[in-house]
Structure 1
Amino acid sequence: MLVWLAFRKKDSTKYSPANYGSIFYHEDDYRQVEIVPFENFNALIKQAENIEEFAEKNFDGIGYSDIMVREENELKLKDRGIPVTELEEVLLNLSLPRKTLVTTGISPGEMVSKNTLGYGENWNGLFFQFESDIVSSIWIAGTIPTGKDKVTDTLNVLGRKWNLLLMDWNSCKLIDLKDKEQIVTYLSFEDYGE
């Protein structure tokens, strides 16, 4: 009965069942396709080149004989001071369910990813973490399960509003999110529907 009363509050979207529930991302997807401040551009290019060179040297035909740990970005996303509420206003354009319980790990064996929200469905979506209502990281796991135009527009707004890049560590591609054509080209290589 108490839950039923909560749904009757004036702002019904805030208490919509779509705003609750859980979403899972595999632990290997954490920040593999991440959104970062533009000021890291040169360092990201250099690091991507180092990763590609390292991968070539350490590939044995089946797998890799060694691992490389990426360096942290000099300018962190949390340094932008993006309020969670402002990011969520932009993410509404995706028209995806907002999930307040985010789990990660290897299924089975999930654990709660604290201070994390997700937009999408299990294995696929846009996720972000926050500290004290300030966004500390944004990443994409799998693909964002909505139309390519919505994804393009949303990423472009993020880039223009906060001067951000998308770094895809899986393919070592770096995308200036202020440039809509770069986003369109990048998404054409990903598994996005129309």
Structure 2
Amino acid sequence: MFKRKTTARRKLEADGYLPLLWEDDYCQVVIVPLENMAYVLKSIAEIEPLSEVSRTDFGFTEIFEHGEMPITTISKEIREDYLMELLTVFGFERATHIDYNYDKIIDCTTRQTKAFGFSNFTIFFEIEGEFVKHVWLSISERVSLAETSVKKFEHIKSVLYRLGEECEMILVDWNSMELIDLRNRYQINNYLNYFWK
């Protein structure tokens, strides 16, 4: 059984874009409504001191729950077709499958979880009916700009900015305890520059 999954994974990788989704990364770098800004800043202020004392070379000794956002993404009524078109216009590749924890292959065409991106940057989103329920990112650590290309990097920044401007969204990175106002190109650029050198 494991060998068959490995063969299926290799074939999907050879055919194109196959993003990896780790269970632990679910909504860790999340895009949420702007109205949650005060809640997020308060949560970061409460969690950050606790995370510092539990930090080790291998992660954290404690788990910190930040809870559900007071204003949910689905309440913004961002349509699935709007987000898919936005990502497609900016050249994001649509994944047909997701590699879940190196353990299971998820079919994006029949499931509620979708993925668009490039080899080192993926926007995942879940839908409920015709609306987007959750949006989160997966960014490979420290990628050289040559691996992504300047054009793709600019497309990533543009998509994030459009989500900020048109949908009034913010990005929350619970790993680094950062809040990025996606209406602010300068904040987006500074955040992404950490990953692309």
Same fold (TM over 0.5): yes
2:174 corresponds in structure 1 to 169
Which of the numbers 112, 119, 122 marks the counterpart of 1:125? 122
The structure where helix makes up a greater share of residues is 2
1:38 corresponds in structure 2 to 34
C-alpha spacing 1:55/1:84, structure 2 compared with 1 (3 Å): same
Give, in whole Å, the separation in 2 of the partners of 1:38 and 1:82.
14
Give, in whole Å, the separation in 2 of the partners of 1:93 and 1:183.
19
1:4 corresponds in structure 2 to none
Aligned positions of 1:18-97 closer than 5 A: 22-59=18-55, 63-97=59-93
C-alpha spacing 1:120/1:79, structure 2 compared with 1 (3 Å): same
Judge conservation of contact 1:77–1:135 (CA < 8 Å) in 2.
yes
Identical-pair percentage: 27
Say if 2:148 is the partner of 1:151: no
1:6 corresponds in structure 2 to none
Give, in whole Å, the separation in 1 of the partners of 2:161 and 2:155.
10
Aligned-pair CA distance for 1:137: 0.7
Secondary structure at the aligned position of 1:161 is classed as helix
Aligned-pair CA distance for 1:116: 1.0
Judge conservation of contact 1:25–1:122 (CA < 8 Å) in 2.
no
What is the root-mean-square deviation in Å for CA atoms of aligned residues?
Answer: 2.5
C-alpha spacing 1:93/1:184, structure 2 compared with 1 (3 Å): farther
Give, in whole Å, the separation in 2 of the partners of 1:42 and 1:62.
30
TM-score (norm 1): 0.78
Provide the aligned length of Structure 1 versus Structure 2.
172
Unaligned runs of 5+ in 1: 1-19
Give, in whole Å, the separation in 2 of the partners of 1:59 and 1:187.
23
One-letter identity of the residue aligned with 1:140? L
Unaligned runs of 5+ in 2: 1-15
Aligned-pair CA distance for 1:185: 1.4
Runs of 4+ residues over 4 Å off in structure 1: 60-63, 143-146
Aligned-pair CA distance for 1:103: 3.6
Structure 1 or 2, whichever has the larger Rg, is 1
Secondary structure at the aligned position of 2:132 is classed as strand
